[in-house]
Amino acid sequence: MTITSSPNASRRTPAAGLEPQLTRAMVARQRFPARSVPDNWPGTERSRAEAARLLSRPPYTLENAGSELHHKHGIVMVLDWLEDQPGQTWQEWWKASGIEQAGAAWRPMIKQWLHERGLRADWRMPVVGRALTTVISAELLRPSVDWLAAGASRQGVLVRSMAHSRDPDGFERLRELGAQAQGVRPGAVTTTLCRGALILAAKGGTIADITVGDVLELLETQAVVLKRAMAGTEVFYRLLYQFGALGEDAPRNLREVRYLGQRTPEELIDRYGLRCRAVRDLLVDYLRERQPALDYNSLKSLSYHLGKRFWQDIEQHHPDADSLRLAPDVIGQWKQRTRTKDKTVTGPDGRRTSTKVERLNHRDTLTQVRAFYLDLTQWALEDPGRWGPWVAPSPVRADELENRKVQRRRKARMDARTRERLPVLPSSSARSTSAAETPLRYWKPPGMPTLARYSPLPVSNSYAPWFRTERPAESGPRTPTPEDAAIWDSRTSAPSGPGP
């Protein structure tokens, strides 16, 4: 592979070395910072005796006597396990245990601790999990948002514990707001309560103390940890806003928090994490030049084709690329990847195989790349110092954008679909004919006379379709009535008044 270096090649740095750009998420976090968790607070500094006394009283006890007995055993085991760790407070013991690093797989750690002390973990582990939730609700310790977002604590148990002991009025009001909200499903309300309980567990306080930064931190952490798009985020924010939490300066909805207007050319290009800083800066400058003549959607589409479909693809397969003057083999491989994509096909035997299929919109990328190269060539005549070093032959030839071939292929695909559907046309036509021969009854406007005994009147379909009715075949020819004549005369008579 041969790649000619540009005058700016010395500015090429790997992705890790790029100066950090203020993304929209970073701007939102700076505007609305999350609450920090202090190292010490009154609850975590309680002694063992004070903690045991607190947890043995309502609201941390259970109503059922048998369940409460097991619950007490679980609390004793959790407190014993924490005290075995180095530190001075319950929070320090929690951090020193290593349970945060285990995430959702923390149970084997306590199980191993029980085995080392000769205690069977079969029946103890369920009560240990419930007791740990109670300890968190009592604010003896505050787990990290990452640990909670990973599902380390059963959220249903945590919600019930928080709603019973920490903030019963707040959870009840939040539940009522969700029930009264228009178009909000019960599942979204349940998710809102779970997220509220997670924030209370991590930050302390009540529902009213939740801030916009707490919401952003939890949602971003859940998206990263769970690796999927989060549902119900708008409902979660809206219900908290209606509740009166989030602070006085909080925007009305989550969209105003996350999306602060249109992205700049820098933000549009930086979405793709380009390694070569020189090419990245060139693409940003190019977008700035084109921006006055384009609407935002067109500018965003242009950044996608140039930043992702073109240069990011080049860098992924040729990490040393730092110039627009690409070798023929690099160009050929890029075009092949642009024209095709992988598609999984299920055969008659049920086996799934991956095959290459043509991308229907690949010409959009080729068109934008060719225009990019031609624009640089033209602009270099006007400003050679700025654009001249980047002039290079276009990797896309004019004949590759020929529209006639595309039209022929499109017509071929349409003809192929038609041929595929021809075998089922007779049966479809038969069903349509059968449906057309079925007598229909039409809606009659209120106040109009009932003409059920009449067959269709001699008027146009668009004039009175509600006259159509089922008429027995043996009824014989229809005899005109005075009503028929009156309707017919009103339809065919010339309009009164001056003509057009």
- Model confidence at 227, pLDDT cuts 50, 70, 90, reads confident
Helix (H, G, I), strand (E, B) or coil at 451: coil
How far is CA 315 from each of CA 4, 301, 334, 362, rounded to the nearest angstrom? Answer: 15, 20, 10, 19
Which of 25-29, 245-249, 301-305 is most confident?
Answer: 301-305
Q: Give tens-digit pLDDT for 332-354.
A: 999 999 999 888 888 888 888 88
Average pLDDT, the chain: 82
Average pLDDT over residues 36-53: 95
pLDDT at 69 over 80: yes
Cα diameter, the chain: 107
- Model confidence at 461, pLDDT cuts 50, 70, 90, reads very low
* pLDDT (0 to 100) of residue 21: 40
Helix (H, G, I), strand (E, B) or coil at 211: strand
Q: Give tens-digit pLDDT for 463-474.
A: 444 444 444 445
* pLDDT (0 to 100) of residue 439: 53
- Model confidence at 457, pLDDT cuts 50, 70, 90, reads very low
Contact by Cβ (8 Å): 78, 135: yes
Report the C-alpha gap between 163 and 169 in whole angstroms. 8
Which of 23-27, 58-62, 120-124, 490-494 is most confident?
Answer: 58-62
Handedness of CA 425, 426, 427, 429 (dihedral sign): positive
* pLDDT (0 to 100) of residue 148: 93
Closest of 191, 76, 98 to residue 147, by C-alpha: 98
Cis peptide before 477 (omega within 30 of 0): no
pLDDT at 498 over 80: no
Instruction: Name the DSSP letter for residue 251.
Output: -
* pLDDT (0 to 100) of residue 281: 95
Report the C-alpha gap between 239 and 333 in whole angstroms. 52
More confident residue, 174 or 498: 174
* pLDDT (0 to 100) of residue 432: 60
Contact by Cβ (8 Å): 99, 90: no
- Model confidence at 481, pLDDT cuts 50, 70, 90, reads low
Ramachandran angles phi, psi of 413, nearest 5°: -65, -40
- Model confidence at 12, pLDDT cuts 50, 70, 90, reads very low
Average pLDDT over residues 151-177: 90
Ramachandran angles phi, psi of 352, nearest 5°: -105, 125
pLDDT at 477 over 60: no
Poorest-confidence range of 21-30, 173-182, 232-241, 284-293?
21-30
Report the C-alpha gap between 294 and 313 in whole angstroms. 25
Which of 6-15, 254-263, 413-422 is most confident?
Answer: 413-422
Helix (H, G, I), strand (E, B) or coil at 380: helix
Average pLDDT over residues 77-81: 95
Q: Which two tokens stand for residue 302?
A: 């242009």
Q: Give tens-digit pLDDT for 355-399.
A: 888 887 888 999 999 999 999 999 999 999 999 999 999 999 998
Residue whose structure tokens are 């302390």: 204
Residue type, 445: P
CB-based contacts of 34, cutoff 8 Å, min separation 6? 203, 211, 213, 214, 216, 217
pLDDT at 403 over 90: no
Instruction: Name the DSSP letter for residue 11.
Output: G
pLDDT at 6 over 60: no
pLDDT at 476 over 80: no
Average pLDDT over residues 130-145: 95
* pLDDT (0 to 100) of residue 452: 47
